[in-house]
Amino acid sequence: MKKLINAPDAVTSDMLSALARSDNRLLIEPDHGIVLRADYLAHRESGKVALISGGGSGHEPAHAGYVGKGMLTAAVAGEVFTSPSVDAVLAAIRLVTGPAGCLLIVKNYTGDRLNFGVAAAIARGEGLNVAMVLVDDDIAIPAGKSRAGARGLAGTVLVHKVAGASAEAGTSLDALAAEVQTFVPQIGTMGIGLSACTVPAAGKPSFVLGDGEVEYGLGIHGEPGVSREPIDTADAIAARLVGAIVAAKQIPAGKPVVLLVNGLGGTPPAELAIVAGSAVAACGAHGLHVRRLLVGSFLTAIEMAGCSITLATASDALIERLEASTEASAWLPVLTPSDASRTVTPPPPAAALGGTTGPAADPAAQKIFDAAIRSVAKALIEAEPMLTALDAKVGDGDLGISMMRGAQAVLGVIDTLDLAHPAAALEQVSSLLRRNVGGTSGPLYAAFSLAVALSLRDDGGALALADWARAFDSGCRAVMDLGGAGKGDRTMLDALLPAAEALAKAASEGVSAGEGLSRAVQAARAGTNETARLDPRFGRSSYVGDRAIGHVDPGAEAVTIWLGALPGIFVNQ
């Protein structure tokens, strides 16, 4: 057993005292495990009915999370999966009950029914006005099979909310008990578990589910359910649960319903969201209109993976109760699902950036530009295994694939590039890289090529080495601005910056493009080799620290590879 606890037998008491310390709207009575509204004394005199719920712990945020204005006045927490004692419930009743009386909301388990029931009887004997309602929303166990009756499951939280809103609105105890008694039979819940849960004091899970097995119809105390079956899709599971509830509660087509999708403690929000989508669709298939939806982990079974689905027939009055405001920290927003398509598309760019103003490149220059792009792409695709291996050593191994993807994307559209205007073509390349290359290098290369494009914008197609040198330098500056790295930080800049310097120098000396590029490649190679001695400070290599030493930076290596593909193209230029 691995849990974030101090001691297995202190879980409940530690949790309760932490809850009260974390939220100054709460108080606790530690001897009996009671969490109550900090303003309980004022509430007692307010003429409003007090509400108490509770039960064994392990169902968090139930029930302490529902203590607050508009929901419960107090929650009584027993040990994990153990009903609180009569005395604990009695102490809670004595604390919060004023002249308006108190309603106990109890999940239908024998232990809870007895302890809350006896406490209510004693309190009545003391002259307190106490009523009790049982919640038995579970539909998994066929009626009559268990003499104990159906269990109280996640639907209980809906009862807390309805009763809380009603009490806050000033409903008398009798009317409140009647309202809840009418509501409870309209709620149906069924759950599935993907894994069991471990009671801290027991140290071992209560049952074991094989890989690929799910348990249908389980409760919230780690007890097995009614059947064990192979895992299915979220759609199929939701359809099955909704179908079972609709059948058990005989909900006719056309009925509006409230849907609650509850996580059992170990279900990621993404999976709950998927199940919620599936459940709304499943309701639709039964002709039910889901007027309101609640999704979250409301009533759990410690760390059990799985969920339950609850349906309640929805009247305007119910929706008003659910939407009334509350200060209870665990109550979540009530959602309104929609049948309409919920997708949008972003607007197209207001205007293309690269309206170049200069003259078009002549056909020979276009041919060279085309060959240069192809050569760069080919070199990066061929280098994929080597870059992958290098990035796997010092980073996360995605650089080779990223560069290859970018190269393939560019090759895929090369015939549509505006090769007569390198600025426009490079801007197209930038937007391709932005869309196709992930990781860190994607946005950095997109920024690099966009800056190069913008720098060439007014130069037209007849470009000299000096234009390219200036543009290259501006690309480097964009990478520095965006990524915050500089020379010696063991990044692609350790290849780019020496290359930029060499290009600028070559341009000022008036050498040929081929010669200028050769010098740039040599400078990039030297800079890249240097990186093997540098400590990584940026990107994912920074997480491996010293282990990167002795290997060159993959990003710098990639720069040297694609630069190295250029001199051959310009050899006679």
What is residue 48's DSSP assignment?
P
Among 396, 505, 512, 549, binds ligand ADP (CB under 6 A): 396
Number of residues that make up the chain: 573
User: Residue 222's closest CA among 202, 191, 198, 190?
Assistant: 198
Task: Give the dihedral sign, CA 525/531/532/536.
Answer: negative
267 sits near ligand ADP (criterion: CB under 6 A): no
Among 78, 395, 460, 475, the residue binding ligand ADP under the rule CB under 6 A is: 395
The answer to whether residue 59 is catalytic is no
Amino acid sitting at position 338:
S
Please say whether the beta carbons of 55 and 109 come within 8 A: yes
**Piece of 211-219, 293-301, 385-393, 474-482 that binds Mg ion (CB under 5 A):** 385-393
Q: How many Å apart are CA 224 and CA 214, to the nearest integer?
A: 10
- The first and second tokens of residue 72, run together, are 């419960």
For 202-236, the DSSP string reads T-SBSS---TTEEEES--SSS---SEEEE---HHH
Stretch of 115-123, 390-398, 461-469, 482-490 contacting Mg ion, by CB under 5 A: 390-398
Of 60 and 391, which has the nearer Cβ to Mg ion? Answer: 391
400 binds ligand ADP (CB under 6 A): no
483 counts as binding ligand ADP under rule CB under 6 A: yes
Closest by CA to 195, choosing from 226, 231, 235, is: 231
Q: How many helices (H) and strands (E) does the chain have?
A: 19, 12
Q: Which of 424, 553, 563, 570 binds ligand ADP (CB under 6 A)?
A: 553
Give the nearest distance from C-beta 439 to Mg ion in angstroms. 5
The entry of ligand ADP, Mg ion, none that residue 553 binds, CB within 5 to 8 Å by partner kind: ligand ADP
Size of the site for Mg ion (CB under 5 A): 5
Report the residue from 460, 554, 564, 567 that binds ligand ADP according to the rule CB under 6 A: 554
Binding mask 526-545 for ligand ADP (x = CB under 6 A): ------------xxxx----
Cβ(318)–Cβ(312) below 8 Å: yes
As measured in angstroms, the least distance from the Cβ of 391 to Mg ion is 5
Q: In the complex with ligand ADP, which residue's Cβ is closer, 290 or 534?
A: 534
Q: Least CB distance from residue 541 to Mg ion, whole Å?
A: 8
The side-by-side arrangement of strands in the sheet containing 227-230 is: 227-230, 213-216, 187-193, 306-313, 256-263, 289-296
Q: Which is nearer to Mg ion, 107 or 405 (CB)?
A: 405
491 binds, among ligand ADP, Mg ion, none (CB under 5 to 8 A by kind): ligand ADP
Q: Among residues 267 and 440, whose Cβ is nearest to Mg ion?
A: 440
Choice from 131, 177, 399, 451 touching Mg ion (CB under 5 A):
399
- In degrees and rounded to multiples of 5, residue 116 shows phi and psi of -70, -40
The full DSSP string for 227-292 is EEEE---HHHHHHHHHHHHHHHHTPPTT-EEEEEEEE-BS--HHHHHHHHHHHHHHHHHTT-EEEE
Window 28 to 87, contacts with ligand ADP (CB under 6 A): none
> Interface residues for ligand ADP in 419-478 (CB under 6 A)?
439-441, 444
The CA distances from residue 218 to 214, 245, 247, 481, 543, in Å, are 10, 14, 18, 56, 44
- Asked whether position 485 contacts ligand ADP by CB under 6 A, the answer is yes
User: Quick one: which of 163, 282, 548, 556 contacts ligand ADP (CB under 6 A)?
Assistant: 556
Comparing CB distances to ligand ADP, the nearer of 214 and 479 is 479
Using the contact rule CB under 5 A, the part of the chain among 211-219, 254-262, 387-395, 470-478 near Mg ion is 387-395
Q: Which residues of 126-152 are buried (b: 16+ CB within 10 A; e: fewer)?
A: eebbbbbbbbbbbbbbeeeeeeebbbb
**What span, in angstroms and rounded, lies between the C-alpha atoms of 537 and 543?**
8
Q: Which of 551, 542, 558, 543 is nearest to 489 (CA)?
A: 542
Residue 396 Cβ vs ligand ADP, minimum distance, rounded to whole Å: 5
3 state SS of 507: helix
Q: Kindly state the tokens that stand for 335.
A: 């959602």
Q: Is residue 398 near ligand ADP by the rule CB under 6 A?
A: yes
Q: Where are the beta strands (DSSP E) in 81-146?
A: 102-107, 130-135
Stretch that binds Mg ion, among 193-201, 383-391, 442-450, 468-476 (CB under 5 A): 383-391
Contact stretch for ligand ADP (CB under 6 A) within 79-87, 287-295, 354-362, 396-404: 396-404
- x-or-dash pattern for ligand ADP, window 488-517, by CB under 6 A? ---xxx------------------------
Q: What is the spatial distance between Cα 1 and Cα 10, in angstroms, rounded to a whole number?
A: 15
Q: Whose Cβ is closer to ligand ADP: residue 123's or residue 493's?
A: 493
Binding flag, residue 235, Mg ion (CB under 5 A): no
Shortest Cβ distance from residue 472 to ligand ADP (Å)? Answer: 15
Residue 220 or 478: the one with the smaller Cβ distance to ligand ADP is: 478
Binding of Mg ion at residue 396 (CB under 5 A)? yes
Stretch that binds Mg ion, among 64-72, 303-311, 378-386, 398-406 (CB under 5 A): 398-406
263, two tokens? 């996580």
- Work out whether 384 is an interface residue with Mg ion (CB under 5 A): no
Q: Which residue has its beta carbon closest to ligand ADP?
A: 555
CB-based contacts of 213, cutoff 8 Å, min separation 6: 228, 229, 230, 231
Among 32, 43, 59, 221, the one annotated catalytic: 221
Planar angle of CA 265, 269, 274, nearest 5 degrees: 115
E strand or H helix at 296, and its extent? strand 289-296
Closer CB to Mg ion, residue 399 or residue 496?
Answer: 399
Give the residue with the Cβ less far from ligand ADP, 306 or 483. Answer: 483
Catalytic residues: 221
Q: Which residues bind ligand ADP (CB under 6 A)?
A: 391, 395-396, 398-399, 402, 439-441, 444, 479, 483-485, 491-493, 538-541, 553-556
Q: Which residues bind Mg ion (CB under 5 A)?
A: 391, 395-396, 398-399
